[in-house]
Amino acid sequence: MKTNINKTQDAGWNIGPQTLLPPAGASDVMRTSIANTPQPDVEAMQQVAPRTKEEWLAVITETDAPKEDGLQTLLAQSPVSVQNDEIAGVPVFKVNPAEVDPRHENHLFVYVHGGAYILNRGKVGVMEAIIIAQRCQMPVLSIDYRMPPEHPFPAGLEDVVTVYQHLLKDHPATSMTLGGTSAGGGLILTATSKLNELGVDVPGALYAGTPWTDLTKTGDSYITNEGVDRLLITYDGLLEGAAHLYAGNKNLKDPLISPVYGKFHDFPPTFLVTGTRDLFLSNTARTHTKMRAAGVVADLLVFEGVSHGDYAFEPTSPESLQTYAELNAFLLRHLQ
Amino acid sequence: MKTNINKTQDAGWNIGPQTLLPPAGASDVMRTSIANTPQPDVEAMQQVAPRTKEEWLAVITETDAPKEDGLQTLLAQSPVSVQNDEIAGVPVFKVNPAEVDPRHENHLFVYVHGGAYILNRGKVGVMEAIIIAQRCQMPVLSIDYRMPPEHPFPAGLEDVVTVYQHLLKDHPATSMTLGGTSAGGGLILTATSKLNELGVDVPGALYAGTPWTDLTKTGDSYITNEGVDRLLITYDGLLEGAAHLYAGNKNLKDPLISPVYGKFHDFPPTFLVTGTRDLFLSNTARTHTKMRAAGVVADLLVFEGVSHGDYAFEPTSPESLQTYAELNAFLLRHLQ
């Protein structure tokens, strides 16, 4: 019997192939955008495997450079200001809406950008911070944390913790949100663990948008949504490489690298969001149920047809509007 | 441009094939159970297409008969009593735990079983009601509503509404939960719409476990989780046939048949649960976000590795324990 079990486990189930149409159950904006997206090229993405520091930097530059246009467009449409600054030696961007909602007058959103721990250096890292500042009408501080290949783990985590601890001098913990998407969602979770470890007060609320909480290829959606997620496409190649580049000589399952393996006791209320096409659907769902089992107030939204981060990348979609409206309501409920 | 869009939509994306291993991110109990489940046979399931009334009844009997053993085992393990009764001409089962939690003393869980609107006639329909009575320590009343092939829509819906209205004579609406899994989850949502339409007070809370809210094959997970969901396996064949058998000459997108096309305003707080392998992941997620957009208090859990209804069919798994513990906490918070 034991042998049969192992045999079954080793073999796995064969699933697919399938034909996936644009999601009829998503909004018109989202469905049209997806219908205009070329079929994700899994094989090409699997080949993206930089080895040297120079190769990594080339991929990073090549991926980030085209985002400048999108940033300028977003800035032109958004009544927000973006200013460079530095906190305790860490570069940050202060992203302020033209008008602050009086209910958020004493609140601060500390934002940690995503990008697989390698992308979105500098100003292109503030895109979602701009959306949050505008939609929630609250001040956002975006941390331009250190990343590999120059600075692997724990440099970025240290930067987030350092900035947060510095902010505590002027801001009560309960007035602050720590939040981000993807690697940013992972970093705010590991940072909160670290704060608990250090005995530092945790923020009043967390935002973990489709967080990268398992840097190993563990989770159903790494398989079921390969070639379905139009942004990440596949774990193999870039993500796998970035995971190892970030972790350096550490185990990928170290809870300060893959927070789904950590403990969530003493975490503040957390808002999570993902989609049915998200390669990180399992990352998000596993984190959510584990938080809930630990007694944390954790609220999950799963949008039909939505790939990794689509709520930020399709900012005019009803899915995006609902995401940030719900995030804002969540923050108003839990921040003090 | 328009032509290109349509072309893309017509063509769709090719995804898979893939090999899916047992979910390393699920609990040991759930993972072992899945590892011992033979690969779902999609092609065989697609062939299940009864045509005549006699063929349908044969499939129903063949599918339900083996459940008797499971029911007896569950009953032997559960300190609950099950009694036949009838309310306003509708057969029901009174499922009472040996001990009622004093906090639930005045509460009643009105349960509507699942089974694609065709299965689980009679006593085999009370399995999840037994689990709920035991885990929540509250009295459950399970409705043995009429089903096709003899009684298509709206017979079952009418039975649920009739029983609920009759119960209102002795029970304040706010003290009652209406809940069920799969087709039962769909039925409690359409029943609530119907109650709103009739101007009748809705229950204090709803439980919609992986509800069948779209009887057409609309939703990402009908595609991405075909052959992944170990219970339902595929929409094609039995589910498609059952949808048409239930709807009769009505449109499958009638909101009283597929509640995801309805309005959720004035719905009470609703607890929803699904899993990453659930063929009805999209049904559940679409319903949840639509409820939330309508201002309803709606709480969603998505369990890693979990197929349709696994929380009920693997009652010893941590996923099952968490599901009903959270459902109970939700009911204690919202019932009066």
| pLDDT tens for each residue of B261-299 | 999 999 999 999 999 999 999 999 999 999 999 999 999
Distance from CA of B300 to the nearest CA of A (A): 6
> Average model confidence (pLDDT) for chain A?
96
For chain A, the domains span 41-334
pLDDT confidence of B1, banded at 50, 70, 90?
very low
3-state helix, strand, coil in chain B (%, to 5): 45, 15, 40
The C-alpha atoms of residue B109 and residue B131 are separated, in whole angstroms, by 12
Strands (E), B216-289: 270-275
Q: How far is B264 from chain A (nearest CA, A)?
A: 16
- Interface probe for A, chosen from B304, B323, B326 (most Cβ of A below 10 Å), is B304
Rounded to an integer, the average pLDDT of B76-88 is 97
**B41-334 falls under which CATH superfamily?**
Alpha/Beta hydrolase fold, catalytic domain (3.40.50.1820)
Residue B65, min C-alpha distance to chain A (Å) = 27
**Across the interface, do B9 and A25 touch by the CB < 8 Å criterion?**
no
A258 interfacial to chain B (CB closer than 8 Å): no
Report yes or no on whether pTM surpasses 0.90.
Answer: yes
Tell whether B201 lies on the interface with A, counting CB pairs under 8 A. Answer: no
Residues within 8 A of A (CB atoms), B 31-60 only: 32, 35-40
Whether B269 has its CB under 8 Å from any CB of chain A: the answer is no
Percent of chain A with pLDDT over 70: 97
Q: What is the mean pLDDT of residues A212-222?
A: 98
* Beta-carbon separation of B223 and A19 below 8 A: yes
* pLDDT exceeds 70 at position A196: yes
* Residues A8-31: tens digit of each pLDDT: 445 799 999 999 999 999 999 999
Residues A95-111: tens digit of each pLDDT: 999 999 999 999 999 99
CB A106 within 8 A of CB A51: no
pLDDT confidence of residue A211? 99
Closest chain B CA to residue A284 = B302
With 80 as the cut, is the pLDDT of residue B205 above it? yes
Interhelix angle for A67-77 vs A127-136, to 10°? 20
Residues on chain B touching A226 (C-beta within 8 angstroms): 15, 18
pLDDT tens track for A256-311: 999 999 999 999 999 999 999 999 999 999 999 999 999 999 999 999 999 999 99
Q: What is the pLDDT of residue B10?
A: 56
What is the pLDDT confidence band of residue B4, given thresholds at 50, 70 and 90? very low
Provide CB contacts within 8 A for B159, sequence distance 6+. B90, B143, B145, B146
Residues of chain A numbered 140-199 and touching chain B (CB < 8 Å): none
Contact state of B227 with A22 under an 8 Å Cβ cutoff: no
Alpha carbons B51 and B55: distance in angstroms, whole number: 6
Q: Would the pLDDT of B156 be above 70?
A: yes
